[in-house]
Amino acid sequence: MSAPSATPTWRIDFDHWPYPSIVAHRGAGKLAPENTLAALRAGAALGQTMFEFDVKLTGDGKPILMHDATLDRTTSGSGLAGAFTLSEISQLDAGTWHSAPYAGEPVPTFGNVARWLRSNGLMANIEIKPSPGREVETGAAVAVAAAQAWHDAVVPPMLSSFSEAALEAAQHAVPILPRALLLHRLPDDWPARLHRLGCVALDANHLELTPEIVARARAEGFRVLTYTVNDPARARTLLGWGVDMVITDAVDQLRP
């Protein structure tokens, strides 16, 4: 997989921030099967304009939407997702586990999701979710696939990951794509980590945030994203502190 032949001219930094304040988590990941086109459609029907979703590679290197390392929780399959080919995974049911109306919903490819988002004028927060041991491969592959899919878009997708190795690989593969480091706990050196990875934003567990942390991030030149906030009052508090993006499952209560 190669990078796009034409270099995009995106500029996403502290002063150029085109993203909404509310982002739908895994599509509408509670109202419909998470990380499926059905979930994205459900969120879009409620007015959501940007969607967070997880991308990993199949055994034959194809990017698909899936959160877990294994197939067991969200599909009719069993075992490591990275051990199966795209052809094998495409035969699985990724909807029945959620509810009967979604029986037969497939595991979507990244390409199909990107085309659907682009055709509907919607934005993406792509979480790079590598299978264990495939961090570098996944980070690079997802960054290149995202750059190809959005090469002529006005607003590029945001890449994020808990894996610093994956984000570093994405940085090397397509440095122009904006990146955010996901952190469940904030280590003392979190600003240095973000600077090293060339991130435009911190993406933190909302329980880790304080007004002082948000102010420090902004002073360091970073925007602030936070997950997963499902209480509208808490979301209002965080936005009042200066948080730029709240990622939520409560897509019917919190809207951009």
User: Which pair of structure tokens corresponds to residue 243?
Assistant: 């948080």
Q: Which amino acid makes up residue 189?
A: D
Coil/strand/helix, residue 192: helix
Question: What angle do the packed helices 110-119 and 135-149 form, to 10 degrees?
Answer: 30
For residues 212 and 220, is the Cβ–Cβ distance under 8 A? no
Inter-CA distances, 249 with 25, 66, 71, 116, 235, Å: 5, 16, 21, 21, 12
Which residue, chain included where needed, has tokens 């995202």? Answer: 146
25 is catalytic: yes
Catalytic residue among 16, 67, 172, 206: 67
- From CA 109, how far away is CA 115, in angstroms rounded? 10
For residues 254 and 235, is the Cβ–Cβ distance under 8 A? yes
H/E segment holding residue 204: strand 201-205
Catalytic residue among 25, 98, 184, 206: 25
- From CA 180, how far away is CA 81, in angstroms rounded? 25
206 is catalytic: no
Q: Residue 121: how many CB atoms within 10 A of its CB? A: 11
Hey, which residues are catalytic here? 25, 67
